[in-house]
A and B are shown apart, each in its own frame.
Chain A
Amino acid sequence: MKIDPKTFAKDYQLNICIQCGTCTGGCPVKFRSPLNMRRLVREAHLASDYASLFKRPELWACTTCSTCSLRCPAGVKNVEFIMGVRNYLANKGEVPSTIRDALENTFLQGNPWGRFRDRRVDWAKDLEVKIVGEAATETLLYVGCAPSYDPRVQSVSVALVKILQKAGLDFGILGKKESCCGNEIRRMGEQALFKKLAKDNTNLFKKSGIKKIITISPHCFNAFKNEYPDLNLPVQHYTQVLADLIEARKLKLSHDLDLRTTYQDPCFLGKQNLVFDEPRKILTSIPGLQFAEMERSKQRSLCCEGGGGRMWAEGETKGTRNGEIRIKEAVALGAKVLATSCPFCLLTLEDAVKISGSAGQIMVKDITELVAEAL
């Protein structure tokens, strides 16, 4: 699989660029890293020697939030271009060591954290969840790697299972057979591994007789919905499912939560897939909850820097993290809770709370956790 950077101009429409700078202007890491998308596009378009161009560590700072691609007036495929460059580098083995480990771990153990596959369902051991394949069900709750293994995110998985069971929804999880969805793998440049994961997962889903998929992470949601070539199954993010259940009165939220809450739109759910209303509908349905909208919300939500492989590499970014800026904004709103619906946002924002010393002022919670409390 030899990739020739000379094809990048055509593949990603680099020659169509009018150098207007909208991409760099809207980039969430523009002040944290020397990454300059506009200049990179121009340099790649005109380059004859790509070796030094692509050796830059800031290429790994990109979070693939896709703000650049979404706003580009000329139609340049910026994010695809970054992924293409990373693919070129990965095939040559030239990736940061932490990315290398994440990719190798995914290949061996089915998750980038390198945790043992058999441990994947430990979080659910007392929950009486159906395992797809052992019991019949048509709806798959695809848990994902972070919600399976990360102790902080496991409470999201537990909460969601309890909510869905309370609402009487029939569903199952894949258990130990579940492997990484591949969304971040693709963004880290391992296109071949992504293709393999997509193929294996698609076969697994189809063989299991599933008719519908619910995901916890917006990243998995994005992969299944937009990037798996042969899936052809309806996919929903859990916020869409919960919003529907609330609408249909199958979920009764009776417990009062007197909390001033704001919400972080995750990039992969919000600006990329336009799911804005459902999370808000859920939050405003919680009795007692006072919802406050952040300054930069919906399409303008500030990326938490968790995507694009950033959970495993810093890309030599420096200075105040976006997470800290976000926490400051939330605190300024008077919010006691910053709600989110993505495991990566959850982890990065909670870290930011600790780093910025705001632990006493604000908590970061996933929407599932709030709903579970309000049940």
Chain B
Amino acid sequence: MKKIGVYICHCGTNIAAGVDIDELVHLSGKLPGVKIARDYRYLCSDPGQDLIKNDIRELGLDRVVVAACSPRMHEMTFRSVLSAEGVNPYYLNIANIREQCSWVHKEREKATEKAKQIIRAAVARVLRQEGLTARKVGIKPSALVVGGGIAGIQAALTLSNEGVKVSLVERSPYIGGHMAQLDKTFPTLDCASCIFTPKTVEVARNKNIELFVCSEVTDVNGYVGNFSVTVKKRPTFVNTARCTGCGDCVEACVLKKGVPSEFEESIAHRRAIYIPFPQAVPLKAVVDKESCLLLRKGKCKKACVEACKAGAIDFEQKEEVVEREVGSIVIATGYDLFDPRLLPQYGYGVYENIFTNLQFERMASPSGPTRGEILLKDGTVPNRIAFLHCIGSRDENAKSYCSRVCCMASMKQAHLAKEKTGAEIYEFYIDINAFGKGYQEFYKRVREEGVYFIRGKGSEIYKKDGRLIVEAEDTLLGTPVEIPVDLVVLGAGLTSRHDAESVARIFGISRSVDGFFMESHPKLRPVATNVDGIFLAGCCQGPKDIPDTVAQASAAAAEVMSLASRGQIEVEPITASIDPQTCAGCKLCIEICPSSAIDFLEAKGISVVNEALCKGCGACAAICPSKAAKQNHFTQDQVLSEVEGLVT
């Protein structure tokens, strides 16, 4: 004889105002199997929970229905209540009479009738529920960090210092990401290289970090605590054990004109064999397969090989594929810059002396192609510079979100430009986003330095009499302006990486509408993803500045350590299972399973569910023609009984 306790929550006035609680209690008490029905103002509170605990103890209840808010709020809470009294937590059912009833209907009588139906259905279902046991999985104390920018570096260092073994995989030949390209950072004007070089050096030195550069993750299998990842290492055609980073090969390379340098944002060229920048970690030469004459055309006098005193160049080097087993993954793949060529009104790529913010960074950087001087293409110093905000951001014709950091970056660059050139500087803005610590103060400083702020988005750039003209409106004065300048810096926004889609697919994570990777909950779970054990850090999750990136990376590391230190975790048993007696081996379930969680046992000719990978979607149960596959906690019986409860 099942003994069900039904508990109806007032939730203050949230539920009580919308439905008649007394009627619900009255009805519940009369339902089959119900031993007791009560109501309480706030069931999720301690006394509320105690109320249920007492009843379980004294009345010997073995099933509980809580009619209250959405199970997403307190299913866990009430499951713990049952566990605390020794009842299997899966004998709980939540009837949502708030979000699905009292909150969305205005007529109290009709809402009450609906609530009655919902409770009837919940009670009918709970009668059919089965006790399930959560599985325990072990967590490997190792992690994969994807991306070697400041986010990846921070996560890797934090983890490795706690004894977690880290595999750090970076696509480009160096670690440091975009931060390595920056000159000085806002608002403190710290030199970017100076502050992160100690970190990159430590990464290279740290025994707990295995660094892969020129590498990409190509495949991920497994589940939280037990991922197996495949890493592909591109051949660099340089033996890193021998290379000393002396640079003689670069000097000798026959490709004198070179190709646009990625690190220099195409404002300078590099040879086919190159060292990314002087402080690069690792400081090793790298051959670019696309531009190397020998690799592309088979004909080259191999001046580099000749010049290398360490004999480090090896054109026979092959791609390497390695596998690693890790417990958690932190994705820190960073951002791409919005391509201003998509907005032809700015003349980017048409006119010289129009640069993106990153290109300006390279000019301002002492290790850059102009040795830190701000120069026009003809080598002269500009007298007037315009910074245009919101290029590709806050724009229905490009990206609709605000890119967060460009206002500060623009003002910092204005400050640097003013310092270096003494030029007249104009900032064309819509709003000034100076939200962080020290940011408003920096904005004030820049204004004090005499930078002109024109509130009006740059509408167009064209050339007249040899000068670049910025067309806009000074909206505060209400007059249209055309300002002739020598140099324009476009504040291009941060976007998701161009291959974010394929990366998301490899890891099984989702993307938000804006293209960045999606966090588990926008407010309360900003580093977790929809895949247990995979976390996000840095700009791959959304545009952010360095302090926020570092904070988020530390948070992701903390989540990883929390998993690792537990050693094992419980995984919800709401998975599928296939009855080996009934299974006909038709493999329809294998075809439809989105998590590739069903294996086929050739010997026995049946399919079997890998519970670790199963996400409990129920697709196999739905498609199985012989009803051999069933979804725990969502069996056909249970679902149908719920339907019956609704319509009877």
Once the chains bind, are A18 and B430 in contact (CB under 8 Å)?
Answer: yes
B390: Cβ under 8 A from any A Cβ: yes
- The answer to the question of B176 belonging to the interface, with a C-beta cut-off of 8 Å to chain A, is no
Annotate B441-464 by CB proximity to A: 1 below 8 A, 0 otherwise.
Answer: 000000000000001111110111
Query: Does the CB pair A36–B478 fall under 8 Å?
Result: yes
Partner of B396, one of A23, A36, A74, A299: A74
Query: Known contacts A39-B478, A299-B345: does B460 contact A25 (CB below 8 Å)?
Result: yes
Known: A36-B473, A74-B396. A21 touches B455 (CB 8 A): yes
A26 touches B345 (CB 8 A): yes
- Bound together, the chains give a CA A72 to CA B398 distance in angstroms of 11
Tell me if A6 counts as interface (CB < 8 A to partner B): no
Which of B344, B347, B397, B458 is A25 in contact with, Cβ under 8 Å? B458
Pair A75/B475 contact, Cβ less than 8 Å: no
Verify A25–B396 contact, CB threshold 8 A.
no
A59 at the interface (CB under 8 A from B): no
**Minimum CB–CB distance for A191 against chain B, Å:** 26
CB of B462 within 8 A of CB of A25, answer: no
- Which A residues from 19 to 35 make CB contacts under 8 A with B? 19-27, 30-31
How many chain A residues sit at the interface, stated as a range, is: 20 to 34
> What is the CA–CA distance of A299 and B344 in the complex, to the nearest angstrom?
7
Instruction: Determine the chain A residues whose CB is within 8 A of the CB of B458 once the complex forms.
Output: 22, 25
Taking a contact as CB atoms under 8 Å apart, the answer to whether B459 and A22 are in contact is yes
8 Å CB contact of A300 from B456, B457, B460, B481: B460
Bound: A32/B95 CA distance, A: 68
* Contacting residue for B480 out of A18, A19, A30, A70, CB 8 A: A30
Contact with A along B45-61 (1 / 0, CB 8 A): 00000000000000000
Are the C-beta atoms of A21 and B344 separated by less than 8 Å? no
Which of A38, A71, A295, A296 sits near B473, CB closer than 8 Å? A38
B250 proximal to A (CB < 8 A): no
B390 touching A73, Cβ below 8 Å: yes
Q: Is B249 an interface residue (CB 8 A)?
A: no
Residue A120 interfacial (CB < 8 Å): no
**Chain B residues whose CB sits within 8 angstroms of the CB of A24 once the complex forms:** 456, 459, 473, 475, 480
- A288-327 interface mask toward B, CB cutoff 8 Å, 1 = contact, 0 = none? 0000000110111000000000000000000000000000
Residue from A38, A67, A73 within 8 A of B397 (CB atoms): A73
How many angstroms between the C-alpha atoms of A71 and B343 in the bound complex?
9
CA distance A71 to B345 in the complex (A): 9
B471 at the interface (CB under 8 A from A): yes
Complex Cα gap A25–B504 (Å): 40
Query: Which residues from chain B contact A67 at a C-beta distance below 8 Å?
Result: 459
With A and B bound together, what is the CA distance between A39 and B394 in angstroms?
20
A71 to B392, CA, bound (A): 11
Which residue of A21, A27, A31 is within 8 Å of B456 (Cβ)?
A21
Bound Cα distance from A73 to B475, whole angstroms: 16
- B472, A21: Cβ atoms under 8 Å? yes
Other-chain contact of A20, B344, B398, B430, B463 (Cβ < 8 Å): B430
- CB-CB under 8 A from A73, the residues of chain B are 390, 394-398, 457
A16 — nearest CB in chain B belongs to which residue? B396
Chain B nearest CB, measured from A270 CB (Å): 11
In the complex the two chains form, is B345's CB within 8 Å of A38's CB? Answer: no
Q: What's the Cα separation between A26 and B473 when bound, in Å?
A: 8
> Which residue of chain A has the shortest Cβ distance to B431 in the bound complex?
A18
Q: Which of A18, A26, A298 contacts B459 (CB 8 A)?
A: A26
- Contact status A295-B462, CB under 8 Å: yes
A27 to B479: give the CA distance in the assembly, Å. Answer: 12
The CA of A199 and the CA of B480, in the complex, are separated in Å by: 40
Task: Choose among A21, A39, A70, A295 the residue that contacts B457 (Cβ–Cβ < 8 A).
Answer: A21
Alpha-carbon gap, A98 to B398, bound state (A): 40
Are B459 and A21 in contact, CB atoms less than 8 angstroms apart? yes
Check A75–B396 contact: CB distance below 8 A: yes
B395 touches A25 (CB 8 A): no
Knowing A25-B458, A30-B480, A300-B460, the reply to whether A72 touches B475 (Cβ < 8 A) is no
- A-side contacts of B464, CB under 8 Å: 295
What separation, in Å, do the CA atoms of A20 and B480 have in the docked complex?
12
Contacts of A75 in B (CB 8 A): 396
Given known A-B contacts A25-B471, A31-B480, A73-B394, A300 and B347 have beta carbons under 8 A apart? yes
Task: Report the separation of the CA atoms of residues A22 and B481 in the bound assembly, to the nearest whole angstrom.
Answer: 11
Q: Are A21 and B394 in contact (CB under 8 A)?
A: no
Question: B400: shortest Cβ distance to chain A, in Å?
Answer: 8
Q: Mark B371-407, 1 if CB is under 8 A from A, else 0.
A: 0000000000000000000100011111000000000
CB distance from A14 to the nearest CB of B (A): 15
- Chain A 159-191, CB within 8 Å of chain B: the 1/0 string? 000000000000000000000000000000000
Which residues from 29 to 77 on chain A have a C-beta closer than 8 Å to any C-beta of chain B? 30-31, 36, 38-39, 67, 70-75
Least Cβ–Cβ distance between B348 and chain A, in angstroms? 12
- Measured between alpha carbons, how far is A22 from B388 in the docked complex, in Å? 12
**B478, A25: Cβ atoms closer than 8 Å:** no
Give the complex CA separation of A160 and B478 in angstroms.
46
Q: Could you say which of B396, B459, B463 contacts A295, with CB atoms under 8 Å apart?
A: B463
B425 → chain A, closest Cβ, in Å? 19
Closest A residue, CB atoms, query B476? A21
Q: Which residue of B lies closest to A74 (CB)?
A: B396
**B457 smallest CB distance to A (angstroms):** 4
Q: Which residue among A22, A38, A75 has the maximum number of chain B CB atoms within 10 Å of its CB? A: A22
Interface pair B475/A21, CB less than 8 Å apart? yes
| A25-B472 contact in complex given A31-B480, A73-B457, A300-B347, C-beta closer than 8 Å | yes
Q: Which of A27, A295, A298 contacts B344 (CB 8 A)?
A: A298
Q: A19 — nearest CB in chain B belongs to which residue?
A: B475
Residue of B345, B398, B472, B474 contacting most chain A CB atoms (<10 Å): B345
**Contact call A296/B480, Cβ cutoff below 8 A:** no
Residues of B within 8 Å of A22, CB to CB, are 456-459, 472-473
Fill in one digit per residue for A263-305: 1 if any B CB lies within 8 Å of its CB, else 0: 0000000000000000000000000000000011011100000
- Report A-chain residues with C-beta under 8 Å of the C-beta of B344: 298-300
Q: CB-CB < 8 A to B397: which residues of A?
A: 70-71, 73
- Distance A103 CA – B396 CA, assembled complex (angstroms): 36
Please tell me if the beta carbons of B463 and A30 are within 8 angstroms of each other in the complex.
no
**Which B residues are CB-close (under 8 A) to A31?**
480, 482
Residues from chain B with Cβ under 8 Å of A299 in the complex? 344-345
Contact between B462 and A300, CB atoms less than 8 A apart: yes
Chain B CB within 10 Å, residue with most, of A24, A31, A39, A295: A24
Cα distance A216–B472 when bound, in Å? 34
How far, in angstroms, from A30 to B459 measured CA to CA in the complex?
12
Q: Which residues of B contact A300 (CB under 8 A)?
A: 344-345, 347, 460, 462
| B475 & A26 in contact (Cβ 8 Å cutoff) | no
- CA separation between A70 and B396, bound complex, in Å? 10
Partner of A72, one of B390, B396, B463: B396
Given contacts A73-B394, A73-B457, A74-B396, contact A21 B345 (CB under 8 A): no
Task: Tell me, rounded to whole Å, the shortest Cβ–Cβ distance linking A195 to chain B.
Answer: 29
In A116-163, which residues have CB < 8 Å from any B CB?
none
CB distance from A299 to the nearest CB of B (A): 4
Q: Which residue of A lies closest to B458 (CB)?
A: A25
A84 to B456, CA, bound (A): 26
A-B contact pairs, 20 of them (CB 8 A): A19-B475, A20-B390, A21-B459, A22-B456, A23-B459, A23-B473, A25-B459, A25-B472, A25-B481, A36-B473, A36-B480, A38-B475, A39-B478, A70-B397, A72-B396, A73-B394, A73-B396, A73-B398, A300-B347, A300-B460
Q: Please give me the 7 A-B residue pairs with the lowest Cβ-Cβ distance, nearest first.
A: A25-B459, A21-B473, A26-B459, A21-B456, A73-B395, A30-B480, A24-B473
Spell out A's residues near B (CB within 8 Å).
18-27, 30-31, 36, 38-39, 67, 70-75, 295-296, 298-300
Apart from A20-B456, A21-B457, A25-B459, 12 more pairs, CB < 8 Å: A18-B430, A20-B475, A21-B474, A22-B458, A24-B480, A25-B471, A26-B460, A31-B480, A31-B482, A298-B344, A299-B344, A299-B345
